[in-house]
C-alpha cells in the first residue's frame, strides 16, 4: 500500500544542526562565512561552543608535534609561555602546513623556564637539541627581533619519517612584547596561551585576506612575503583611502587615537578546551595588555616605505603578580593612558603592603627608596612574595572600567565591521 504524498515529511533545515552535519558544513566555511552563519539564528549561535571544540582543536593541532598535547599545555601554563608563529595562524585558519615548525615563546629571566621546557621536550617527547644559527632568515618572527635573546632548536623524526622541529624563543622580557611589538606583518600577530588563542587583526587576516607591513619593507623579508603569498595572503604597506573596508583593527581614524587592548572586541579570541590542563596565569593578565598603532610615513631619505608600527612596553609593579604591556602615549585630552596613570596608585598600595611587614621582613628599606623606584623591586617580590603580601591583579578589570567611564577611549566595546 502506497503512502500518500501528504504523509511524506520534508526535511527541515534544522537537520543541519545535527552535530556531524553541522561540523562538516562548518569545515567548508571561511571565517567570514562562519560569522554570518552564526548570526542567522539563536540555534546556530548556541552551537558555537561545540564548533570551538571540533573546528579549533588545539590538541589535534599539537598532536603533530607531541604525544601528549595536554601535558605540553600544562608546561606552557607553568612557565607562562605562549605559542606563536605559523602554528597560531594555522589554528585560526583550520589548516596544517606540514613544513611548519612549533614556536614557543618564554621569558628567559634566569633561564629556569627555558631549561625546564627544553628538558621536557627531550625527556618526555624524545626531541634532540640541535645547534642552529641566529637569526634564521626563514623564520616567521622575521630576521631581527631585538626582544629575542636566544633560540633553542629541537628536532625529531615522526613515525612517517617527517622531520619535526620545535623552537624555544627566549625573550629578553615579557614574551607577549616580542610577539606584539616585533613581528614584521599583521597576519602573524597571533598567539596561543594555555587556555585561549588570540588573533589581533582578524578582519585583515581572515576577511580581507591581506597582511600589512609592521616593519620597513626590505629585501630581507622577501622570503616571508613569498611564503604567505603562497598561503593566500597579499602583503601591502598601508591601507589606501579607497580600500578601508574590513580594517577596523588598524584604528585608522583620528578619534580612535591608535589604542588597542589585547582583550578588546577587535581581537578574535577562542577559548580552548582545557580539560586535563593544569591552569596557569588568568586571561586578564593577557587581555589588559595595551598597545598603540601608528603609521610610519614614507621617508625617502632614509629609504623607508610607509608601514604600520606597534608601540608597547612592559609595565610592572610590586603589587601585581604578572607583567603587562602598556602604552605611554599621552591622550588627546592631555591625560595618561591606563597603566602610567595608575602607577602612583600602585606605589601607594605597595607602601601599604610594606607597612604590613616587620622592618626585617621588608624587601627593601622604605626610607631609602623613592616610591617612583618601587617597580625596580617587582621581580624580587613576584618571585618570592613576603608572607601575607597582597597582589591586586584581580582588581585590574574594575580599575580599567572606571578609567573608561571618565570619558577616555573605550577599548573594550570595539567591533569588527
Summarised one tens digit per residue, pLDDT across range 353-410 is 999 999 999 989 888 889 888 999 999 999 999 999 999 999 999 999 998 887 444 4
Among 277, 310, 343, residue at a domain's last position: 310
- Domains contained in the chain, number: 3
Task: Tell me what pLDDT residue 30 has.
Answer: 81
In a domain, 389, yes or no: yes
* 62/180 same-domain check: yes
- What residues pair up with 128 in beta bridges, in sequence order? 155
Would strands 210-212 and 259-261 be described as parallel, antiparallel, or unpaired? Answer: unpaired
What is the per-residue pLDDT for 133? 62
- Contact assessment for residue 386 and residue 357, using Cβ atoms and an 8 Å cutoff: yes
Q: For the purposes of burial, counting CB atoms within 10 Å of the CB of 90, is it exposed (0-12), middle (13-18) or buried (19 or more)?
A: middle
Those residues whose C-beta lies under 8 Å from the C-beta of residue 158, and which sit 6 or more positions away, are 64, 164
Same domain, 50 and 78: no
Note whether 76 and 83 are within 8 A (CB).
Answer: yes
CA distances from 20 to 51, 53, 113 (A): 11, 13, 41
Beta strand 290-296 pairing with 307-311: antiparallel
Q: Are 133 and 141 in contact (CB under 8 A)?
A: no
What is the distance, to the nearest Å, from the Cα of residue 262 to the centroid of all Cα atoms in its chain? 7
| Same domain as 206, residue 103 | yes
Would you say residue 413 lies in a domain? Answer: no
Let me know if residue 140 belongs to a domain: yes
Last residue of one domain, picked from the residues 310, 339, 368: 310
Q: Give the count of beta carbons closer than 10 Å to the beta carbon of residue 208.
A: 21
Residues 36 and 86 in one domain: no
pLDDT the model gives residue 45: 72
Tell me how far apart the alpha carbons of residues 379 and 231 are, in angstroms, rounded to a whole number. 41
* CA 308/CA 44 separation, integer angstroms: 37
pLDDT in tens, 219-257: 667 788 888 888 889 999 888 888 888 899 998 765 556
My answer on whether omega of the bond before 135 falls inside 30° of 0, hence cis, is yes
- Looking at the domain assignment, is residue 5 inside a domain? no
Fill in the DSSP letter of residue 213: B
Q: What is the DSSP letter of 367?
A: G
Residue 398, SS3 per DSSP: helix
Given 310, 328, 351, which residue is the final one in a domain? 310
Instruction: Indicate the pTM of the whole model.
Output: 0.87
* Domain housing 263: 58-310
pLDDT at residue 122, as a whole number: 98
CA distances from 397 to 265, 328, 364 (A): 15, 19, 29
Domain assignment present for 146: yes
pLDDT at 417: 35
Same domain as 142, residue 106: yes
Q: Do 253 and 209 lie in a common domain?
A: yes
Do residues 126 and 174 share a domain? yes
Q: Does residue 8 lie in a domain region?
A: no
| 389/357 Cα distance (integer angstroms) | 9
Give the CB-side neighbour count of residue 201, counting CA atoms within 13 A: 22
Dihedral angle, C-alpha 218, 222, 228, 231, nearest 10 ° = 160
Strand 163-171 to 102-107 pairing: parallel
Residues 6+ apart with CB under 8 A from 194: 73, 74, 76, 77, 274, 277, 279, 280, 281
β-pairing, 290-296 with 259-261? antiparallel
Same domain, 139 and 182: yes
Residues 294 and 397 in one domain: no
Separation CA 68–CA 60 (nearest Å): 10
**Composition of the chain by helix, strand, coil, percent to 5:** 40, 20, 45
316 occurs within a structural domain: yes
Task: Give the Cβ contact number of residue 334 at 10 Å.
Answer: 6
Do 198 and 268 contact (CB within 8 A), yes or no?
Answer: yes
Residue 4 belongs to a domain: no
| pLDDT tens series, the chain, 417 aa | 444 445 555 555 454 555 677 777 777 788 777 766 766 677 777 777 777 778 899 999 999 999 999 999 999 999 999 999 999 999 999 999 988 999 999 999 878 999 999 999 999 999 999 987 655 544 555 445 678 989 999 999 998 899 999 999 999 999 999 999 999 899 999 999 999 999 999 999 999 999 999 988 766 677 888 888 888 899 998 888 888 888 999 987 655 568 899 999 899 999 999 999 999 999 999 999 999 998 888 765 555 678 899 999 999 999 999 999 998 776 666 677 899 989 999 999 999 999 999 999 998 988 888 988 899 999 999 999 999 999 999 999 999 999 888 744 444 443 333
User: How far apart are alpha carbons 30 and 116 in whole angstroms?
Assistant: 38
- Asked if 247 and 336 sit in the same domain, the reply is no
Residues 89 and 225 grouped into a single domain: yes
Same domain, 205 and 299: yes
Amino acid at each position: 500500500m502506497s503512502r500518500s504524498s501528504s504523509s511524506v515529511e520534508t526535511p527541515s533545515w534544522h537537520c543541519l544542526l545535527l552535530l556531524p552535519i553541522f561540523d562538516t558544513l562548518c569545515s567548508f566555511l571561511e571565517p567570514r562565512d562562519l560569522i554570518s552563519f552564526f548570526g542567522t539564528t539563536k540555534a546556530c549561535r548556541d552551537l558555537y561552543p561545540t564548533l570551538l571544540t571540533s573546528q579549533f582543536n588545539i590538541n589535534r593541532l599539537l598532536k603533530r608535534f607531541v604525544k601528549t598535547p595536554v601535558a605540553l599545555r600544562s608546561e606552557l601554563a607553568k612557565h607562562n609561555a605562549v605559542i606563536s608563529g605559523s602554528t597560531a595562524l594555522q589554528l585560526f585558519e583550520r589548516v596544517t602546513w606540514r613544513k611548519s615548525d612549533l614556536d614557543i615563546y618564554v621569558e628567559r629571566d634566569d633561564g629556569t623556564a627555558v631549561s625546564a621546557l627544553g628538558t621536557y621536550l627531550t625527556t618526555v617527547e624524545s626531541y634532540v637539541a640541535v645547534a642552529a644559527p641566529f637569526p634564521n632568515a626563514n623564520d616567521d618572527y622575521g630576521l631581527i627581533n631585538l626582544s629575542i635573546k636566544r633560540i633553542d632548536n629541537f628536532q625529531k623524526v615522526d613515525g612517517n619519517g617527517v622531520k619535526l622541529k620545535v623552537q624555544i624563543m627566549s625573550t629578553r622580557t615579557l614574551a607577549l612584547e616580542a610577539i606584539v611589538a616585533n613581528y614584521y606583518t599583521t597576519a602573524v600577530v597571533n598567539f596561543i596561551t594555555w587556555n585561549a588563542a588570540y588573533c589581533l587583526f582578524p578582519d585583515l587576516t581572515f576577511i580581507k585576506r591581506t597582511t600589512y607591513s609592521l616593519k620597513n619593507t626590505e629585501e630581507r623579508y622577501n622570503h616571508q612575503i613569498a611564503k604567505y603569498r603562497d598561503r593566500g595572503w597579499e602583503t601591502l604597506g598601508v591601507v589606501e583611502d579607497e580600500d578601508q573596508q574590513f580594517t577596523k583593527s588598524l584604528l585608522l581614524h583620528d578619534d580612535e587615537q591608535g589604542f588597542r587592548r589585547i582583550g578588546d572586541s577587535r581581537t578574535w579570541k577562542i577559548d580552548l578546551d582545557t580539560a586535563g590542563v593544569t591552569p596557569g596565569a588568568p586571561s586578564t593578565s593577557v587581555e589588559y595588555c595595551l598597545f598603540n598603532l601608528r603609521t610610519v610615513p614614507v621617508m625617502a631619505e632614509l629609504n623607508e616605505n610607509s608601514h604600520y608600527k606597534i608601540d608597547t612596553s612592559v609595565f610592572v609593579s610590586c603589587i601585581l603578580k604578572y607583567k603587562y604591556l602598556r602604552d605611554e602615549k599621552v591622550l588627546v585630552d592631555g591625560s595618561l593612558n591606563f597603566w602610567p596613570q595608575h602607577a602612583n596608585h600602585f606605589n601607594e598600595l605597595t607602601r601599604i603592603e610594606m607597612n604590613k611587614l616587620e622592618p626585617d621582613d621588608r624587601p627593601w628599606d622604605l626610607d631609602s627608596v623613592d616610591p617612583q623606584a618601587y617597580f625596580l623591586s617587582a621581580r624580587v617580590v613576584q618571585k618570592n612574595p613576603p608572607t601575607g603580601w597582597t597582589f591586586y591583579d584581580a582588581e585590574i578589570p574594575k580599575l580599567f572600567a572606571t578609567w573608561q567611564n571618565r570619558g577616555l577611549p573605550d577599548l573594550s566595546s570595539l567591533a569588527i565591521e
